[in-house]
Chains A and B, each alone.
Chain A
Amino acid sequence: MNILAWKNLLHDRVRLGVTLPGIVFTLVLIAVQFGMFLDFLDTSANVVGHNTADPWISAPGIPNVNGGSPIAESKRRKAMQVAGVETAASFTLFFLNWKLPNGAFQSCQVAGFDLDSGMGAPGNVVEGRIDDLRGEDTVFIDELYKKKLGVSRIGDTLELNGKRVRVAGFTRGIRSFTTAPYVFTSFKNAQTYMRLREAGTVFILLRTKPGADLAAVKAGVQAAVPGVEVFTRAEMLKRTQNYWVFGTGAGTTTLMGAILGLLVGIVVVAQTIYAATIDHLKEFGTLKAMGATNGQIYQVIILQAVLAAVMGYALGISIALFVVNSTANTDLLIKLPWQVAIGIFGMTLLMCMSASLLSIRKATTIDPAMVFRG
């Protein structure tokens, strides 16, 4: 009976030419929409997600990591005295204006980190050394934003918040979800650019001792350091993602796009598979008249759907991977982790099988007169 499912699918090339593209483009749509959403989720809080510090200290009630306000740096010393804390380092993140060579301004996010602890340092440096940031007025930018920031090579000199800035190196793949690129510099330089009072910072990043209980350290710091709020890394990540994804139109739009992609996909696949099954209704009637059990008819219909799902997935995921790879070095990244790819496969199977099940009742309750009348 399996051969009937297989050949039913392949024999009619026109029907196959309608069924497969329906599934393929549905999968590409879903993969791209969810890939964009996943990327948004990741980049909206990548300063936290790619930072090893845990927990974080900030001014109370900040809405997200990009919305910090200054706190006294002296609190760092108090935090250091809490049991379980191994290191405490200052870290700033602030929006400032970068002056382009043509005199226009470009907003950027300046991340100032402690060079000794390395907490908050950018990863994936492709030109220059992190230690070069010990020099006065030096910064790193991501190579994706060279053009946007009017930079062409190491040593280029521009202006940040009215002060001279010199590019000392480049990172790769550290993208910003806003229009403001990241600019990395030492905490000391950042204080100057941000015109913070000598003793000010925006965050204090902590590293716990091996084996220390994170919750206990967080509670201890909260009790020992007045006038601040302490977040675990996971809490800061979630707070930032929730703010950008659900608290702004941008995130909601991306999420809605992903959900709509899924709904449209389900409808397209359901219609396609349903139509493909109904096309063979008379044949199922013949099988039934010849003594096939409902189980045998279910088997043919479901196998037909599974084969369509597997073929559609193979083509669809290949196109989606091509799209994902082609955005790898652009401002817009689409993520397609293997777990999502497997999830999409499961969803494709489920969609195709559910759609075929809708038509099963029709196939198993077929009026035999239809077969008789030709």
Chain B
Amino acid sequence: MVIVRDLVKTYGTGANALNGVSMDVNAGEVLVLMGPSGSGKTILISISILGGILTATSGSVTIDGREIVGMPEKELPALRRDLFGFIFQDFTLFPALTALENVAVMCRLKNVPHPSRQAAELLESVGLGAKLKSYPADLSGGQKQGVAMCGRCCANASGDFPERRRGCAERWRSQDSALAPR
């Protein structure tokens, strides 16, 4: 569960990006954040959901009971790695890596055993078994989305691997991967 209270982000110039935002995100909940350009959506996500990539000026963000505002920098990467997964607008795959390597890199980040093998199984489970050696430039938008989702499945899902693979495939089929909570 994510609890945000009175979150303020002020830039050095004195401009406020966030001015006392509060919200709760429950486990399993799908939340859509909408607002005009420049309203602070990205800043809010960067401080809270992205696990403290940006630091808040004041306020509180609690994730699964852990306060992350003021958390030492060295503890934040593990938080991002273990609790969150993202699929960006353009999927942000590594153009120099094949589909298999893209997923395997994410598996390695998570210290998953046999990352290449598990990456291959994940890609096969979403029907991209024939694209293991394809580069992002050779994939369609949907296929890129599939590769990006497999990377996040590998890197974030808890539980045993077959379960994770099934979950990944299901999300792929339902095409809601970008919003699916973990």
Contact = CB atoms under 8 A, between A and B. Distances in A.
B11 to A, nearest CB: 12
Contacts of B96: 4, 7-8, 10-12
Interface string A336-374: 000000000000000000000000000000011101111
A4 B109 contact: no
A7 B88 contact: no
Interface residues of B, number: 35
A104 interface: no
B131 interface: no
B145 to A, nearest CB: 13
B53 A292 contact: no
A371 B46 CA distance: 11
Contacts of B88: 286, 371-372, 374
Contacts of B82: 291
A374 B94 CA distance: 13
B122 interface: no
B56 to A, nearest CB: 14
B80 A3 contact: no
A374 B96 CA distance: 17
Interface string B64-99: 000000000010011111101110111010111100
B155 interface: yes
The residue in B78, B94, B101 that gathers the most chain A C-beta atoms within 10 A of its C-beta is: B94
A282 interface: yes
B54 interface: yes
A372 B53 contact: no
Of the listed residues A1, A288, A371, the one surrounded by the most CB atoms of chain B closer than 10 A to its CB is A371
A282 B96 CA distance: 13
B4 interface: no
Contacts of A287: 109
7 contacts: A290-B85, A290-B106, A291-B155, A367-B54, A369-B43, A374-B90, A374-B92
Interface in A294-344: 294, 296
B164 interface: no
Interface string A1-29: 10110011011100000000000000000
B42 A369 contact: yes
Nearest to A366: B53
Given A1-B109, A7-B94, A371-B88, 11 more contacts: A286-B92, A287-B109, A288-B53, A288-B77, A288-B80, A289-B53, A290-B85, A290-B109, A291-B78, A292-B77, A371-B92
Given A288-B53, A291-B82, A292-B77, A372 B89 contact: yes
Contacts of B90: 374
A369 B81 contact: no
A8 B101 CA distance: 12
Contacts, number: 83
B117 to A, nearest CB: 15
A297 B120 CA distance: 24
A289 B109 contact: no
Interface in B87-142: 88-90, 92, 94-97, 101, 105-106, 108-110, 135
B45 interface: yes
Nearest to B54: A368
Contacts of A371: 88, 92
B76 to A, nearest CB: 9
Nearest to A285: B92
B30 to A, nearest CB: 19
Contacts of B80: 288-291
Given A291-B82, A368-B53, A3 B77 contact: no
A283 interface: yes
Interface in B156-177: none
A287 B97 CA distance: 14
A39 to B, nearest CB: 43
A179 interface: no
Contacts of B94: 4, 7-8, 283, 286
Given A7-B96, A7-B101, A292-B109, A373 B89 contact: yes
A218 to B, nearest CB: 63
A371 B148 CA distance: 14
B98 to A, nearest CB: 9
B8 interface: no
A4 B78 CA distance: 20
B149 interface: no
A294 B80 CA distance: 13
Nearest to B85: A290
B18 interface: no
A98 B82 CA distance: 85
B97 A289 contact: no
